[in-house]
Amino acid sequence: MSATRAEIAVVAVAELFRGDGEIVASPMGLVPQLGAKLARLTFEPDLLMSDGEAYLVTTDGVVEGWQPFRKMLDTIVPHGRRHVVMGANQIDRFGNQNISAIGDHARPKKQLLGVRGAPGNTANHRTSYWVPRHSTRVFVDSVDVVSGVGYDNAAKVGLKFHDVHRVVTNLGVFDFTTPDHSMRAVSLHPGVTRDEVAAATTFEIDFGSAETSREPTEEELRLIREVLDPKALRDKEVPA
């Protein structure tokens, strides 16, 4: 069975949680949720899944624990026992993320969500990002507002537990493991070229030894198609 681009992305998000063990996974959005659930059903069975409100739940929504938001802020977030996958309206070469506003902060062209929990997330525990449409509107030279803290700003203020892990998009997977913590390509999805990624990114990306993103196994495809997303909503978020 051949996988769609959306299914490649779901597996790439699942791989974000490999090795995380017993921590709280907080995936925001459809593909991040599918990826986290896939990881729990396969190689990371100890992941704790948050419903984003007050409970820990299984992959099919059965409540298995109580975790109100206050407890999350008091005991989970400050102690690094969480891996959140957020969105990004803008992201730059050092992993600074913007979900607050587009344009000048005093008089923005577009008002977005606000910084929300992004500063605390990037100061306290592992954070990754999901971008369904990789483009120059998202991957910019400089974000208009720093919501999630990137590596350059983290160094300026001495954040001890800063960990922007990876960025997954419809084109590939990226991290910041270069000498200056600028973005590099970990893998490109099957059929995606370096030129395609470069044309969709304002700044230069280190392609180095970028590989091809792995495709789902037959069992992973079965879980995605029959168990986790039988209505194929993933294909609306990431068209083939």
Domain that holds residue 125: 5-235
Residue 90: phi and psi, rounded to 5, are -140, 150
pLDDT at 53: 63
Number of domains in the chain: 1
Residue 240 lies in a domain: no
Residue 219 lies in a domain: yes
Residue 120 lies in a domain: yes
Q: How confident is the model at residue 76 (pLDDT cuts 50, 70, 90)?
A: low
Query: With helix as H, strand as E and coil as C, how does the chain read?
Result: CCCCHHHHHHHHHHHHCCCCCCCEEEECCHHHHHHHHHHHHCCCCCCEEECCCCEEECCCCCEEEECCHHHHHHHHHHHCCEEEEECCCEECCCCCEECCEECCCCCCCEECCCCCCHHHHHHHCEEEEEECCCCCCCECCCCCCCCECCHHHHHHHCCCCCEEEEEEECCEEEECCCCCCCCEEEEECCCCCHHHHHHCCCCCCECCCCEECCCCCHHHHHHHHHHHCCCCCHHHHCCC
Query: How do residues 124-172 score in pLDDT, each as one tens digit?
Result: 889 999 999 999 999 999 999 999 999 999 999 998 889 999 999 999 9
Stretch 105-129: mean pLDDT: 87
Stretch 68-82: mean pLDDT: 62
Residue 48 lies in a domain: yes
Query: How do residues 179-233 score in pLDDT, each as one tens digit?
Result: 999 999 999 999 999 999 999 999 999 999 999 999 999 999 999 999 999 999 9
Query: How do residues 40-52 score in pLDDT, each as one tens digit?
Result: 999 999 998 877 6
Residue 18 has pLDDT above 80, yes or no: yes
Residue 84 lies in a domain: yes
pTM of the predicted model as reported, rounded to 2 decimal places: 0.92
**CATH for 153:** 3.40.1080.10
Residue 12 lies in a domain: yes
